[in-house]
């Protein structure tokens, strides 16, 4: 969630608006001739809300543990769950109350491996080897993780910034460093350096009030001062062998203009008649890094920006965009090829209902940009949750990640109480929903809940439910996604995933990957039915064979496919298939 979105920001706050309960029952009239979307009109409830699901299976729902919610006040901010990070069999779930580590070795029955109380804001997490990183933003954050808050207005006990825990003994996490920053850390982004594996960087996105220079030297609240603590991010350098030496090495002025004015981007305000009011660009809400292509995409309040991060300690802005439909640039996701960037707009800050039938489909949505070789972003499309939600449900675009289906760009995305929407944005000008899950409102009156994030991790989709707990989903085959495509996605395995640190997805040379491409060619009518059948037959025969027989069959298939490529309406996909077949033949 965001904090400084101007009229509608966030976080939490506006969400708890008292909304006339009569409005909560507003139904959306389906268009003539179409069946009503099953997501409309779901029953309200805490753990017994109505559910609508399509092309997915809910593998498990794990409610919040005692002590991690307030039964007297379901929307209590102090217990909201937030973002996720993954390592081996563990899901790390951040939140206002602290972090929890869930063992999902059995996805049908996750178990709580560790619950660690440590308050200080939304508590975004990243994990890298034995280190766990945690964002702390609020004034109540304490160096010692104590829950009593900080009594003094200026205090050495206060902590706002990024904590680093050593979790090599997860039963006894040790805070090995705590790097203080002027605006705290609303979110952060782990950035690896492909040229130096001994060091990682943490980009700190601070959006909170600037603290007193008496508490942290150098902090400067004056917006117009050249040394203002606004209009920057902080870069923390973490030597992995000595994380206790983590320190800020740069505070880059990534919004500066050519004249060196640090406030060089969007000044705040509307873009003309009928446009959105967009927050001033004095902060990034979130940055997604993709070190293998040397780029990061920043969602920075009033702008989307592109950063060159080839030197991770010195990110350099190389492009920026505005969008008159965006209120608050919130987060970013690259497609795997790095040719599309999806930015989210957290209009209303995540606590307001912004998916009603009366809300514009281009407001509070995703905006899709193509990213050319010239490193220029170009807006080509929008995607918004296609099922209208009620006034009782906080809903707007939020966090998600790619589902690694070869040959396609597919994302699972959280929409707070709008549920999860899975969509294909291979053609960024025409994204299409292919699966979803939604629950009814948590309460009759708008009460903070819903998915903070939904991320693919090693064959499953994990959802962090702000008010209800942790959900795990599996994909089901459908007209939009074949069993082979799902199998191919499941072949992609990681030991560690931090969704804001994207890594290049590489598929193994495997039969499901080849068949996924064949299914896609069939779906797009890019080859004749008879050729599709023949190719599948060849693949089946090759898979059953071994040794030189298999090699010969695959080599023959590859040469036949080369001819197919010349006739297909989707030659690049046929060539991708050829590459897999050739690799399989080796």
Question: By rule CB under 8 A, what string of x and - marks binding of each residue 191-210 to other proteins?
Answer: ----------------xxx-
> Taking CB under 8 A as the rule, does residue 65 contact other proteins?
yes
Return the beta strands (E) in 377-517 as ranges.
377-383, 399-403, 410-414, 420-424, 432-439, 451-457, 460-465, 469-475, 496-497
Give the one residue of 127, 177, 367, 449 binding other proteins; rule: CB under 8 A: 177
Q: Where are the alpha helices (DSSP H) in 545-570?
A: 547-567
Q: Which of residues 497-516 bind other proteins (CB under 8 A)?
A: none
State how beta strands 51-54 and 432-439 pair: antiparallel
Q: Is 378 exposed, middle or buried (0-12, 13-18, 19+ CB in 10 A)?
A: middle
DSSP-assigned letters across all residues of 417-452: BT-EEEEE-SSTTS-EEEEEEEE--SSSS--S-SEE
Query: Between 571-585 and 547-567, two packed helices, what is the crossing angle to 10 degrees?
Result: 170
Give the one residue of 3, 398, 408, 439 binding other proteins; rule: CB under 8 A: 3
Q: Which of residues 355-374 bind other proteins (CB under 8 A)?
A: none
Answer yes or no: are the C-beta atoms of 574 and 527 closer than 8 Å.
Answer: yes
Number of other residues whose CB lies within 10 A of the CB of residue 215: 17
DSSP-assigned letters across all residues of 101-149: EEE-SSTTS-EEEEEEE--SSS--EEEETTEEEEEE-STT-BTT--SS-
Q: Which CB atom, from 74 or from 556, has the smaller least distance to other proteins?
A: 74
CA separation for the pair 8, 352 (Å, rounded) = 8
Give the one residue of 105, 168, 214, 244 binding other proteins; rule: CB under 8 A: 244
Q: Which range, of 95-103, 372-380, 392-400, 418-426, touches other proteins by CB under 8 A?
A: 95-103
φ/ψ of 184, rounded to 5, equals: 70, -170
Q: Which CB atom, from 210 or from 486, has the smaller least distance to other proteins?
A: 210
Answer yes or no: are the C-beta atoms of 216 and 202 closer than 8 Å.
Answer: no
Q: Which range, of 73-81, 372-380, 459-467, 520-528, touches other proteins by CB under 8 A?
A: 73-81
> Taking CB under 8 A as the rule, does residue 390 contact other proteins?
no
> Taking CB under 8 A as the rule, does residue 354 contact other proteins?
no
Classified as helix, coil or strand, 290 is strand
Question: By rule CB under 8 A, what string of x and - marks binding of each residue 117-156 to other proteins?
Answer: xxx-x----------------xxx--xxxxx-xxxxx---
Q: Which CB atom, from 177 or from 295, has the smaller least distance to other proteins?
A: 177
CA separation for the pair 185, 35 (Å, rounded) = 45
Tokens of 400: 């998600």
Q: Which of residues 296-315 bind other proteins (CB under 8 A)?
A: none
Q: Which CB atom, from 35 or from 217, has the smaller least distance to other proteins?
A: 217
Give the one residue of 21, 277, 555, 585 binding other proteins; rule: CB under 8 A: 277
| CA diameter of the chain | 77
Classified as helix, coil or strand, 473 is strand
> Taking CB under 8 A as the rule, does residue 22 contact other proteins?
no
**Smallest distance, Å, CB 291 to other proteins?**
28
Q: Which CB atom, from 1 or from 342, has the smaller least distance to other proteins?
A: 1
Answer yes or no: are the C-beta atoms of 118 and 131 closer than 8 Å.
Answer: no
> Taking CB under 8 A as the rule, does residue 419 contact other proteins?
no
Tokens of 272: 């003309």
> Taking CB under 8 A as the rule, does residue 115 contact other proteins?
yes
> Taking CB under 8 A as the rule, does residue 98 contact other proteins?
yes
Tokens of 344: 């989210």
Q: Which CB atom, from 130 or from 378, has the smaller least distance to other proteins?
A: 130
Applying CB under 8 A, what is the total number of residues that bind other proteins? 74
> Taking CB under 8 A as the rule, does residue 280 contact other proteins?
yes
CA separation for the pair 176, 169 (Å, rounded) = 13
**Smallest distance, Å, CB 269 to other proteins?**
5
Question: What are the CA-CA distances from residue 262 to residues 230, 232, 281 (Å)?
Answer: 9, 8, 10
Q: Which range, of 112-120, 333-341, 504-512, 551-559, touches other proteins by CB under 8 A?
A: 112-120
> Taking CB under 8 A as the rule, does residue 240 contact other proteins?
no
Give the one residue of 62, 175, 199, 478 binding other proteins; rule: CB under 8 A: 175
Q: Which range, of 5-13, 334-342, 483-491, 542-550, touches other proteins by CB under 8 A?
A: 5-13
Q: Which range, of 168-176, 387-395, 429-437, 474-482, touches other proteins by CB under 8 A?
A: 168-176
Give the one residue of 172, 358, 546, 548 binding other proteins; rule: CB under 8 A: 172
CA separation for the pair 530, 4 (Å, rounded) = 57
Q: Which range, of 83-91, 197-205, 261-269, 455-463, touches other proteins by CB under 8 A?
A: 261-269
CA separation for the pair 93, 470 (Å, rounded) = 9
Give the one residue of 42, 44, 79, 584 binding other proteins; rule: CB under 8 A: 79
Q: Which CB atom, from 246 or from 539, has the smaller least distance to other proteins?
A: 246
Q: For 297, which DSSP code?
A: E
> Taking CB under 8 A as the rule, does residue 468 contact other proteins?
no
> Taking CB under 8 A as the rule, does residue 9 contact other proteins?
yes
**Smallest distance, Å, CB 359 to other proteins?**
14
**Smallest distance, Å, CB 334 to other proteins?**
29
């Amino acid at each position: 969630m965001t904090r400084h979105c101007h009229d509608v920001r966030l976080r939490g706050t506006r969400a708890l608006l008292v909304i006339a309960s009569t409005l909560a029952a507003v139904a959306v009239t389906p268009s003539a001739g179409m069946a009503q979307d099953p997501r409309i009109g779901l029953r309200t409830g805490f753990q017994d809300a109505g559910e609508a699901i399509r092309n997915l299976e809910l593998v498990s729902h794990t409610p919040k543990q005692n002590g991690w919610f307030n039964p007297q006040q379901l929307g209590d901010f102090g217990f909201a769950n937030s973002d996720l990070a993954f390592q081996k069999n563990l899901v790390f779930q951040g939140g206002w109350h602290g972090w929890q580590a869930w063992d999902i070795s059995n996805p049908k029955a996750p178990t709580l491996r560790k619950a660690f109380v440590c308050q200080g804001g939304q508590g975004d997490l990243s994990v890298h080897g034995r280190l766990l990183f945690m964002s702390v933003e609020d004034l109540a954050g304490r160096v010692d993780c104590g829950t009593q808050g900080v009594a003094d207005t200026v205090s050495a006990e206060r902590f706002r910034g990024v904590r680093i825990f050593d979790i090599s003994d997860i039963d006894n996490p040790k805070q090995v460093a705590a790097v203080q920053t002027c605006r705290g850390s609303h979110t952060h982004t782990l950035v690896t350096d492909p040229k130096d594996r001994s060091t990682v960087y943490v980009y700190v996105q601070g959006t909170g009030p600037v603290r007193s220079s008496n508490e942290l030297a150098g902090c400067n609240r004056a917006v117009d001062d050249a040394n203002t603590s606004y209009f920057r991010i902080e870069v923390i350098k973490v030597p992995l062998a000595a994380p206790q030496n983590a320190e800020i090495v740069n505070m880059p002025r990534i919004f500066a203009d050519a004249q060196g004015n640090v406030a060089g981007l969007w000044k705040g305000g509307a873009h003309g008649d009928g446009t959105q009011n967009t927050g001033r660009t004095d902060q990034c809400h979130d940055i997604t890094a993709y070190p293998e292509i040397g780029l990061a995409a920043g969602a920075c309040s009033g702008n989307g920006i592109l950063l060159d991060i080839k030197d991770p300690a010195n990110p350099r802005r190389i492009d920026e965009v505005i969008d008159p439909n965006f209120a608050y640039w919130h987060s970013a996701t690259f497609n795997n090829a790095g040719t599309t960037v999806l930015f989210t707009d957290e209009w209303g800050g995540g606590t307001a209902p912004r998916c009603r039938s009366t809300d514009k489909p281009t407001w509070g949505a995703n905006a899709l940009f193509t990213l050319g070789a010239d490193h220029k972003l170009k807006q080509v499309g929008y995607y918004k949750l296609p099922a209208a939600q009620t006034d009782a449900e906080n809903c707007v675009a939020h966090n998600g990640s790619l589902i690694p289906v070869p040959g396609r760009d597919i994302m699972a995305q959280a929409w707070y109480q709008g549920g999860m929407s899975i969509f294909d944005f291979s053609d960024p000008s025409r994204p299409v929903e292919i699966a979803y899950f939604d629950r009814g409102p948590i309460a009759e009156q708008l009460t903070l809940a819903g998915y903070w994030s939904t991320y693919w991790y090693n064959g499953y989709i994990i959802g962090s439910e702000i008010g209800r707990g942790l959900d795990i989903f599996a994909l089901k085959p459908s007209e939009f996604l074949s069993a082979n495509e799902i199998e191919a996605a499941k072949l992609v395995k990681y030991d560690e995933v931090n969704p804001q640190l994207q890594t290049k997805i590489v598929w193994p040379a495997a039969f499901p990957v080849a068949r996924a491409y064949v299914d896609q060619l069939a779906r797009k009518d890019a080859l004749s039915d008879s050729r599709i059948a023949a190719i599948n037959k060849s693949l089946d025969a090759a898979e059953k064979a071994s040794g030189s027989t298999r090699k010969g069959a695959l080599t023959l298939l590859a040469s036949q496919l080369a001819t197919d490529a010349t006739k297909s309406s989707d030659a690049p996909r046929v060539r991708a298939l050829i590459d897999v077949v050739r690799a399989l033949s080796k």
